[in-house]
Amino acid sequence: MDDLLPKSMYWILISERSDDNQFYLDGTPPLISTNEWSFEEGSAVTGIIPEIEMLYTIEPNEIMTDNLVSPGFRGLLIRNKVKGLLEILGLDNIQYFKTKLINEKTKESTEDYYIANIIGTYDCVDYDKSDLTFWDDGDIEFVESFVFKDISDQEPPEIFRLSSFLPLVIITDRVKKALDKQDYSGFKYYRPEEYYS
């Protein structure tokens, strides 16, 4: 019996701009730097996290996406409406932290974005059938192609991080279809065999 997942059972979710006029939020908020917080390790963040502020500069032709490409936030940075959908879907393994983005020129601010910290790491990679390059510690450095295997016996949640390559968020087909139906900007979805880095 083939233990490989059907092609569409899991998807790789990436924060990615689809064109140049989509805003890229550069830099790391001071609170995140000072406290050395990370929201992309797959583990819960403990303690009280105050609202995280960040100054930004945006060009007149740029638009802010529903999921902002913002590596310095060290986690997904999503609009409230995306958070609402994830909650409606019953995804209860995500912590949300409020942010305040302040336009450096106009001083206008938006509090519509949350950092989404996805809790849970699983390894669904079939290493024999994937084409990968590794760091010395065994974590994945480069991906030519992925093949995923069935991990349903571990009962993973519908959204999690890939334990051997933490930047990657893995979602089920149900979650992908729900996000896709809303046409949220700032997300790209890849089948495992189509993804490379």
In this predicted model, what pLDDT tens digit does every residue of 139-160 receive, in sequence order?
888 999 899 998 888 889 999 9
Residue 2 has pLDDT above 70, yes or no: no
Q: Report the predicted TM-score, pTM, of the whole model to 2 decimal places.
A: 0.90
pLDDT digits (tens, 9 = 90+) for 45-95: 999 999 999 999 999 999 999 999 999 999 999 999 999 999 999 999 999
Q: Please state, in angstroms and rounded to a whole number, the distance separating the CA atoms of residues 190 and 184.
A: 15
* Annotated domain spans of the chain: 10-14+121-194, 18-118
